A and B are shown apart, each in its own frame.
Chain A
Amino acid sequence: MYSIDIKGLTKRFEDKTAVDDLTLMINEGELFGFLGPNGAGKTVTIKTLCGILKPSSGVAKVNGFDVTKDADQVHKIIGLCPQEPAYYSYLTGRENIEIFGNFQGVPPKILKERITQLIEAVGLGADADRRAGKYSGGMVRRVSLAMALIHDPAVAFLDEPTVSMDPQSRHATWDIIRDLKRRGKTVVLTSHYIEEVEALADRVGIIDKGKLIALGTPAELKERHGASNLEEVFITMTGRKIREES
């Protein structure tokens, strides 16, 4: 069984087709890198898989649960680290992680342990008890990641989790992502740092203008396009024209 099974997924917004007839299967325990220029349809795809957006047509399943019909089941098994870190600025980092643990119904005893582990993993340390509103951009990202993973989800959607992080924080985040994979979790990772995806992902999909234009392991894609790295493949496939999100 595929962890993520998308067949003919289309998402339209009035005059724009954000995702166009996307078919994609991601294996259980796979770390999948999802690449694309701004506005290509990565975030819309993730939002649809999380049940935030309803597909215009097509079917998407997460661990066998239909994202539209079985949204409650899907929400129990997924963790979303959104592109814009949404958090309560008046709560401390620890309280933000804790409240999301409560939202996901993590038993109190386990919750306490998980919070301690995650605070250590994301390197919050003593800052965990400061209000999140006072955090730097990188710290907020790290808290946001911990909030997404507090219930140890089977499938994690990490939408640009390392944006505005310093190298140390990025490496700490990569360690967390590798640990998820080691423990058999499915991870969908989007990032504009293509070398990051190349280093971490088992397979990579490149999406542009809502369509999946390339799919394979980093090695396969490089070989297919005679490129020395994944970024060359990306530029070859999507062009050099600057894109803006609409």
Chain B
Amino acid sequence: MNARRVLALVGKELKRIIREPANLFMVIVFPLILTLAFGASFGAVGGGESKYNVAVINQDSDLNGVAFLSTLARVEVLSIQNYTDSSSAQLDLQQGRVKAVLTIPPDFTTSIQSYKQSPDAPSKWHNATLSLSIDKGSMVASAAIPPIIQQTLAAMTQATARAGIPIKIGTPTLVDAQKISQFAYMAPGLFGYAAIFLIMIVAQALTTEREQGILRRISVTSTTVGDIFAGHIISNLLLGEVQVAMVFAASYAMGFRPLGGITGVVVAFAAVLMLTISCVGLGLITAAFARNSGTATGISFVFILPLMFLGTFVPAPEYISRLVPTWYASTAIIIAGVIAFRRFGKS
């Protein structure tokens, strides 16, 4: 292999993509449109909720705490999730799995009992505070949940005293929750999705060059088969990375936030790099079977369709998905995100 020849072939291949509108559309414009379309359809935008998940940590071991909890559970718009420790409840709030975290203090029953014994003597009450953290991004939740809790408390204590009740709801802590939209789960698959079409690009390039006699003409020069393959692999690796950068930027614009931080992003680029090599290989196989560029387009879909539907963002049984390289790329990106997320203590 000769570096100058390979570089010349890489340059030629990149010019082909840039200068031929059909290729430019397939490699650059199509993945962008797709990402934006999916982002708009499945992103964080919209999505009215009929029930609010509320994490409750009951630190009161006595009866009143349990009674308050069961009263809350009967409220139709709340879905009460019981937690034993505060940190996992707060984490789920950060990750958007619950809309609020309510902590019932240990002296809740003492406070209720002091009220029931002397409802008209606030000086004899034992004051307690329910602490509440709410998803800052959910305007509806932050507006609706505190009054609901307040009303439940009032109903439970059957408060009649003008002075109110000894249990207050602390000023809600507003938490910037991480939204995990459906699009966030799809985005890693979209990174791989864009690369799949390189199969067709490679197959068409080679068959066209063969049809036009260019490959034959090159074979009469000092250029080797290794130079030609290296030219295709390197140019398509560059294209794959450009694609993933663009899909990443478009996904980010549509609300996707990589959980793995910089590690996740690096792994995503590396995974797409490996997938691109697989796609170039499949493109070469397609070119070997195709007699002309039209046939190459048709045959390339034999690879493109399974890769698209079994390994990217379309749900499919894992035992089937494992047969296609895109599944490994998408899974690698997802796992990298989760591992990095856990390592930095967020999950």
Contact = CB atoms under 8 A, between A and B. Distances in A.
B19 interface: yes
Interface in A13-62: 50-52
Interface string A121-139: 0000000000100000000
A214 B312 CA distance: 67
Nearest to B12: A99
Contact of B220 (A75, A84, A88): A75
Contacts of B222: 72, 75-76, 103-105
The prevalent SS among residues of B at the interface is helix
B16 interface: yes
B15 interface: yes
A103 B215 CA distance: 12
A87 B216 CA distance: 11
A95 B13 CA distance: 12
- Contact-size category for A: 20 to 34
A105 B223 CA distance: 9
Interface in A122-168: 131, 147
Interface stretch (B2-10, B233-241, B257-265): B2-10
Interface residues of B, number: 23
B182 interface: no
A78 interface: yes
A95 B222 CA distance: 18
Interface in B178-235: 212-214, 216-223
Contact of A80 (B2, B4, B16, B217): B217
B12 A52 contact: no
Given A84-B213, A86-B216, A103 B19 contact: no
Interface of B: 2, 4-5, 7-9, 11-12, 15-16, 19-20, 212-214, 216-223
Interface of A: 50-52, 72, 75-76, 78, 80, 82, 84, 86-88, 90-91, 95, 98-100, 102-105, 131, 147
27 contacts: A50-B220, A51-B219, A51-B220, A72-B222, A75-B219, A75-B220, A76-B222, A78-B220, A80-B217, A84-B213, A86-B214, A86-B217, A90-B15, A90-B16, A95-B12, A95-B15, A98-B8, A99-B8, A99-B11, A100-B221, A103-B8, A103-B218, A103-B221, A103-B222, A104-B221, A105-B5, A105-B222
